[in-house]
Structures are given as C-alpha cells and as structure tokens.
Amino acid sequence: MLSIIIPVLNEVKYLESLIQSIKSQEFEEEYEIIVADGGSKDKTREIAKNYGCKVISGGSPSKGRNEGTKIAHGDLLFFIDADSVLPSNFFAELIREFKKRKLDLASYPVYPQGNIIDKILYGIYNCFAWATQRFLPHVTQTILIKKEIHQQIGGFDESITIGEDHAYAREGAKHGKFGFLTKVPSVLTSVRRFEREGRFKTYSIFLLTGLYMLFFAKFKSDIFKYHKSDKNHQNLKKT
C-alpha cells in the first residue's frame, strides 16, 4: 500500500488540483491520502475531507510528515508539497522504476510553472541531483521512501529550519539505497516562493543553504530568515 502524505497550511488554492491529479492516476495498487494540517484558517481541511482524505493536525512541514507517517498503513511513503501537480501515469511509472532499481528511497525531477529562467534553473538543479545521487543525495519536494527506512532514521528532524528534506534523504541513504529517478514523468510545481520573496534572493538562499549543509552542518536556526509560510497563493492549474 502507498501512503501519500501532504503537509498543508492555507492551501485552498492548490490542494484540490493536487488531489485531483492523484485520483486521476491509472494506478492499480491501493493507496491512501493523508493531509497534515498546520492550522489552516481557510477551507483546506474541508477540501481534503470532501475528497475522502484522512485529515490530521500537523505543524511545520517536517512535523506534518512525521505525524502523517504515524497513522500511515502503507509500506511505502510518498511525501509531496501541496503546490504540486502529478502528470498522468506518474505513480505507475514511479513504482515500476523504484522496484526495478531496487531502491529504498528516491526523489524525481520537478519543473516549475514559471518563466524560462525558472525552467532553466530547475533543469540545472535536476541535473545536479541526478549527478550527485550516489554520494550526496538531493531531493525535490517529492520523496518516496520505504516506511521501515523512515522509522530507522527517526523521521524528519523537526529542529532543522531549512533543508530538512535533504538532511532526511542523506540520513536515509545511510540505511538504504537512494536514487534520483529521471525516467519518471516530471512533477509540476508552483513558483510562489520566488514570486513572493524575489527570484534572486530565493535562489541565493537555496545556493547558500546547499553550500552550508555540504561543508558545515544542518540548519538549526533561521540564519537566512527564510520563511516558508505563504497565505497569498496563485492558482496552479493542471496542464
């Protein structure tokens, strides 16, 4: 069984598109959708319940993912951000490639609904993640992992403020085989953070974060004062 876990906070303009893209998949295996809400003030919870999702209380993205895992019935966990849309036949191709490569955890390319600069920069990152997969695991906002690996590493480190997903992947890779699956159809994501904070600032923070984690340690404080919460979303439409 596949457990799909989505941490959310005021995602009324995104969540429905993601859930619809999940439910439209041609996927024969059983799955469940768990929405971990960090305290939404809009109709995020109502949307999730209307689509039959399990709704629980979350917190930060890391806490939401960890809380979702506690009630998950699947032996495979799929973590994804709410501002994403899955291409058709994604899960079938994903599971096939995951099993073919005998992986324990994996991530996959994502591409933005943005301008040409965003697409180029995301493309560069996807290539980097593929090239470093054997010695320096990097992930996008989607992660597939065996539940047993998640439990062995104690889940996401909720004290990390930036790059918690990369730290999670690197810990997981110590206990299992990691892979970056370029043969899987790419996930579509929004560029809301770049539009809110500014592209130069946000990309610079991502670069500095990566370098800091590579040479020093995990982020335990808001060194760059980067804020993930976003209450003023624009629609991400399924294409």
What does residue 15 show for φ and ψ, rounded to 5 degrees? Answer: -60, -40
pLDDT more than 70, % of the chain: 80
Say how far apart CA 22 and CA 31 lie, in whole Å.
10
CB distance 127 to 182 below 8 Å: no
Domain range list for the chain: 1-231
pLDDT grade for 238, boundaries at 50, 70 and 90: very low
* 45-73: average pLDDT: 98
pLDDT grade for 225, boundaries at 50, 70 and 90: very low
Say how far apart CA 32 and CA 165 lie, in whole Å.
22
User: Which is higher by pLDDT, 233 or 179?
Assistant: 179
Element (H, E) at 184: none
User: Which is higher by pLDDT, 219 or 29?
Assistant: 29
DSSP designation for 2? E
* 112-138: average pLDDT: 84
**Which residues contact residue 57 at a Cβ distance below 8 angstroms, ignoring those fewer than 6 apart?**
36, 37, 39, 67
Class (C level, CATH) for 1-231: alpha beta
Place of tokens 């971990």: 36
Give the start-end residues of each E strand in 104-223: 105-107, 110-112, 142-146, 178-180, 187-189
Which amino acid does the sequence have at 12?
A: V
Average pLDDT, the chain: 86
Tens-digit pLDDT profile for residues 155-210:
999 998 778 898 999 999 999 999 999 999 999 999 777 667 666 676 666 666 66
